[in-house]
Amino acid sequence: MLICKNISKSFKKDFWNKDFVALHDVNFELNDGKIVGFLGANGAGKTTLIKIILGFIKPNTGSVKILDIDWTEDEVRKLIGYMPERPFYYQNLTGHEFLTYCGELQEIDKETIDKNIEKWATKLEIKFALDRKIKGYSKGMLQRLGFVSVLLHNPRLIILDEPLSGLDPIGRKEFKDVIKEVNEEGVGVFFSSHIVNDVEEVCHDVVVLESGNIIYNGPIKELVSQNTSNKFVIKYNDGIKDCELIVEESLKDKKMLELIESGAIISKLIRETSSLEEIVYRLNK
């Protein structure tokens, strides 16, 4: 659904300093209809790459294809929905006026606008505030309004820059549920985050960016299984206290026998696992 080819971007510093390279020859391809997380620390280059994908800034090299269409074609814009990291809102409009305005800008018919406002504003729990002026909205309310605006034109792919930041735990859960629901309707989702657990919870695939370099692109399951150790944890009671022993897979049977012979009671044998967070942290080193 999205192909980035040889994308590099550097930003000019002053005359005496070398340019700062924000993206180094970035290449990746995202599979159709998936939810893909875009992970990377602050300053890794996520927003820069998203802005390049959307055509807001020009890369030094490279090209992008979205849903098999070259990014320079106008029709691409109609197929994608984008929620920026720091959206701009007309403070004096009501939520409803703002959404209608967004829909009209995209040349969507009134019926579709109203239908989608009703559907997504209800799901994102913002319907109650649509008649209020935006200047009175809280951060989470603005975020919800922004998400509704992305979905008005029935996009095929949505690109969200840090959609979950600034939301409380309930808001995050609601957003994640809507992301899953939109995806079940056949819409691809690409969203950036630096919260690994959120990505792990909703995404099929993940792209990991570190200092402008892609260090992983693929299914989350594969990343986790590749990095799962061959160590086992044996939990047992030695007659006095609960203990834990970590052993290589090849030694686990022998160790368990020894423990049983010494009178210990084994309560659990589990494979030592790493969370996605630990894996990504290791990849970054």
Residue keyed to tokens 């159709």: 32
Residues 6+ apart with CB under 8 A from 48: 9, 22, 23, 57
Window of 37-45, 117-125, 179-187, 243-251 that interacts with ligand ATP by CB under 6 A = 37-45
Proportion of the chain in helix, strand, coil states, percent, rounded to 5: 40, 30, 35
Compare residues 21 and 79 and give the one whose CB is closer to ligand ATP. 21
Q: Is 186 in the site for ligand ATP (CB under 6 A)?
A: no
Compare residues 44 and 129 and give the one whose CB is closer to Mg ion. 44
Q: What is the DSSP letter of 17?
A: S
Q: Which does 172 bind (CB under 5 to 8 A by kind): ligand ATP, Mg ion, none?
A: none
Instruction: Select from 30, 39, 44, 214 the one that contacts ligand ATP (CB under 6 A).
Output: 44
Q: Is 42 in the site for ligand ATP (CB under 6 A)?
A: yes
Compare residues 191 and 232 and give the one whose CB is closer to ligand ATP. 191
Q: What is the nearest approach in angstroms of ligand ATP to the Cβ of residue 93?
A: 27
Q: Which does 44 bind (CB under 5 to 8 A by kind): ligand ATP, Mg ion, none?
A: ligand ATP
Spatial CA neighbour of 226 closest among 189, 184, 280: 280
Q: Is 194 in the site for ligand ATP (CB under 6 A)?
A: yes
Spatial CA neighbour of 273 closest among 237, 240, 232: 232
Is residue 7 a contact partner of residue 160, using CB atoms and an 8 Å limit? Answer: no
* Direct distance between the N- and C-terminal alpha carbons of the chain, in angstroms, rounded to an integer: 30
Residues binding ligand ATP (CB under 6 A): 11, 20, 22, 40, 42-48, 85, 194
